[in-house]
A and B are shown apart, each in its own frame.
Chain A
């Protein structure tokens, strides 16, 4: 089913030019993605978007389907449209894509794909989170430990894409309009995009062994998976972003960890809060229990109730809530808030799954 009937508002942020970021995108992709101007004011989000691609080490055969199914599950019109467009560009017909979706829906797919998709959906929904039985089911089908980790990480990466695209209400029209003409587009000079469509696992440096950055336990547990290093770099870039203070960022992570009932992610967020001077467990508990406290500044008091809405949502209502927040935040602050919430949802979900491996 296409998602065109789902209500989707106009973009929440203004378009801006960021020539340095455009140059970077062109270096990596060979073109500037049409949504780049919407992310220009907070560059780490676009960089993460570019590097969290579908190049897998262990589950390359499942990646496209996971991206499509999880995006559809999260009602992300932007990601779903982009995913369909990429599948068309890769040579699939509309009928073939619909057949894939139908097969997935009716569980008419081979057991490895079915199990992979079920697990990915479970990571994405986290309601309930994956349990030991779901991990065991994957093992029995021959998934290695590395493959299970990559599956969990990739599902959470799609959650990240879905979150920032939906929360910002990125314009869906481009992908939805272009999809029917994708065969013609294949002949256009689209830079390195064609190469990326046939994504090959990249050789990436593993996260450093003496990793001490935010959520280092998680990134080290992911080992040398291609996206593990991207996650490390993204967390570091987010933390280095000068737009929101580190304390606000840690609070966003803590709220989402609390909402997902993820104790280990909450403990790490509390450690980061302590580093920023918010050390009293009672004060932090008051903030997390009520999403309000005299200790919060005016901006945090508005941001925290909003970020809890990013855990589970319907697109249009959460976009309206984001629009209300836009009235009190700058373009860059709203982008950084939404990017951080998307990243915290990634981290919260993947770490819940990884605790079981």
Chain B
């Protein structure tokens, strides 16, 4: 009888030990999976921080998307390809996408290389911000250096396109500086960190003027006033633009005399 109870006790002990061991292994596996997910999340958060200020990223992670905007001083750069809509109707879609992606790649490099942040691509247009993620007293210089780098990148890219027998591109770039509201905007399904305000519209309108004056980079008086004197600018006639009261003082950017 005693041996039966002994056997039962041993079997129970064995079962408990096995259950305990399985639990331990399972906990270890779950812990590893949790750590992997946590690392993925952190990586995602770090990647996201390149597109929005850390505080906003953290707030989104902690509380979800909440309405929050902050007034900031920034320089906006608006770039648009000249005549691209017509071009897009005459070449194969695959080729068009390849040309466009190559263009965006090079322009992004020029912008981020000068501390800019691409807010959005609109068709073949680019809206970039300087000073929106972090305070940047040198934002005007950075933005105009970025515009000049875009000019150089495009010249290189056009040589590549021409060598392949593809049509070349030309771009118009408008720059303006001022105050606006930086915020996460959009719908529940699609949010983006961007800048809202007159400065964005004005940069886009000034970009439109590049066609009329047959130049590639135009900036407003607000940018010029805080710009390094080594940028060579050419003053153009003050011009009225749609949606903006009064005339806008504009300057074409020639080049930078010195090391960027």
Partner of A289, one of B38, B133, B228: B228
Partner of B135, one of A5, A261, A292: A261
Contact A125 to B38, CB < 8 A, known contacts A291-B138, A312-B134: no
Q: Chain B residues near A320: list those with CB within 8 A.
A: none
Q: Chain B residues near A259: list those with CB within 8 A.
A: 135-137
Contact A261 to B137, CB < 8 A, known contacts A289-B228, A292-B230: yes
Partner of B137, one of A1, A102, A289: A289
- Asked if B93 is at the interface of the complex by the 8 Å CB criterion, the answer is no
Q: Chain A residues near B226: list those with CB within 8 A.
A: 289
- CA–CA, A153 and B51, complex, Å: 30
Q: In the complex, are the beta carbons of A127 and B55 less than 8 A apart?
A: yes
- CA–CA, A292 and B228, complex, Å: 9
- Asked if B54 is at the interface of the complex by the 8 Å CB criterion, the answer is yes
- Asked if B53 is at the interface of the complex by the 8 Å CB criterion, the answer is yes
Q: Chain B residues near A289: list those with CB within 8 A.
A: 137-138, 226, 228
**For chain A residues 276-291, which have a beta carbon within 8 Å of chain B?**
286, 288-291
Partner of A107, one of B38, B53, B62, B133: B62
**For chain B residues 34-53, which have a beta carbon within 8 Å of chain A?**
35, 38-39, 42-43, 53
Contact A290 to B141, CB < 8 A, known contacts A1-B38, A127-B134, A259-B135: yes
Partner of A260, one of B53, B135, B258: B135
**For chain A residues 246-276, which have a beta carbon within 8 Å of chain B?**
258-261
Q: Chain A residues near B258: list those with CB within 8 A.
A: 292
Q: Chain A residues near B53: list those with CB within 8 A.
A: 127
- CA–CA, A289 and B142, complex, Å: 12
Interface size range on B against A:
20 to 34
Q: In the complex, are the beta carbons of B230 and A127 less than 8 A apart?
A: no
Partner of B54, one of A98, A127, A292, A311: A127
Interface string of B185-211 (1 = CB under 8 A from A): 000000000000000000000000000
- CA–CA, A261 and B137, complex, Å: 8
Q: In the complex, are the beta carbons of B137 and A127 less than 8 A apart?
A: no
**For chain A residues 313-333, which have a beta carbon within 8 Å of chain B?**
none
Interface string of B123-146 (1 = CB under 8 A from A): 000000000011111100100000
- Asked if A183 is at the interface of the complex by the 8 Å CB criterion, the answer is no
- CA–CA, A291 and B228, complex, Å: 9
- Asked if A51 is at the interface of the complex by the 8 Å CB criterion, the answer is no
- Asked if A186 is at the interface of the complex by the 8 Å CB criterion, the answer is no
Q: In the complex, are the beta carbons of B228 and A1 less than 8 A apart?
A: no
**For chain A residues 107-134, which have a beta carbon within 8 Å of chain B?**
107, 125, 127-128
A24: min CB distance to chain B, Å: 38
Nearest to B226 among chain A residues (CB) is: A289
Partner of B228, one of A107, A125, A290: A290
Interface string of A1-20 (1 = CB under 8 A from B): 10001000000000000000
Some 12 contacts from A to B, beta carbons below 8 A apart, are A1-B42, A107-B62, A125-B55, A127-B54, A128-B55, A259-B136, A261-B137, A286-B229, A289-B226, A292-B258, A311-B134, A312-B134
Closest 4 CB pairs of A and B: A290-B228, A1-B42, A127-B134, A261-B135
